[in-house]
Homo-oligomer: A and B are copies of this chain.
Amino acid sequence: MTPADQPRRRGRPTTPLLSQEKITQAAVELTNLRGYAALTMSALARRLEVAPSALYNHVKSKRQLLLWIQDHVNMEIDCSDFGVRPWDVALESWARSYRDAYARHSPLVPVIAVTPIAGSPHTVAMYERVAAGLRAGGWPDDQVMDVVVAVESFVLGSALDATAPDGIFDVPIDQAPALAEVVGARVGRDAARAAFDLGLATVLAGLRDRLKALGG
């Protein structure tokens, strides 16, 4: 089964230079190295040592490329606790790794929100595991997706917030005294992470209460 065994049609080699995997890989590397502003069909083609138009033999559009990247990023999200640990513990580790992944890929956030998941196999697999885990945890079927979407909304909003520059709320004291005071009262460190931690703890506590109230 070496290439030599396969009958060669006359002419050029049949192995294409490009593939979905190669293109996605190169695109992810490019964003990691130079950010999403540098993710251009031209730049991507240059990185793959190919003409820009060659990409269109494999990917339908730049939007589709972004969906490939999204599915790849979703592979990094940790949903392994679902089904093995309590639902709330699993939800917490899922939310944390979800936020961290998209904090590094925030330009994908607006794309996720409006794209059907059906075409993204790893994404479907992730939601399947999350849904099964919440059901097993005692959540009624008709509320599972509401819980998932609510947590996801908080996570994606937090991922955007994580990209905010320091001092985004800085303002002259005389112009907004109360605001200036509470902004100054935050301890130094990572403000976005502190807000995420507070919010996540709040959401989890609220969900536990809600499920308890349902159970009886």
Contacts and interface: CB of A to CB of B under 8 A. Distances in A.
Interface of A: 106-107, 109-110, 113-118, 124-125, 127-128, 131-132, 134-135, 141-158, 160-161, 163-165, 167-172, 175-179, 181-183, 185-187, 191-192, 194-196, 198-199, 201-207, 209-210
B179 A128 contact: yes
A210 to B, nearest CB: 6
Number of identical monomers bound together in the oligomeric complex: 2
B206 A142 contact: no
Given A135-B182, A142-B185, A202-B210, A196 B114 contact: no
Contact of A144 (B165, B182, B196): B182
A199 B164 contact: no
B113 A169 contact: no
A114 B164 contact: yes
19 contacts: A110-B160, A113-B157, A113-B160, A113-B161, A114-B168, A115-B168, A116-B167, A117-B169, A128-B178, A131-B181, A132-B179, A145-B169, A146-B191, A149-B195, A151-B199, A153-B158, A154-B154, A157-B157, A199-B203
Given A141-B185, A164-B114, A132 B178 contact: yes
Contacts of A148: 195
A211 to B, nearest CB: 10
A153 B114 contact: no
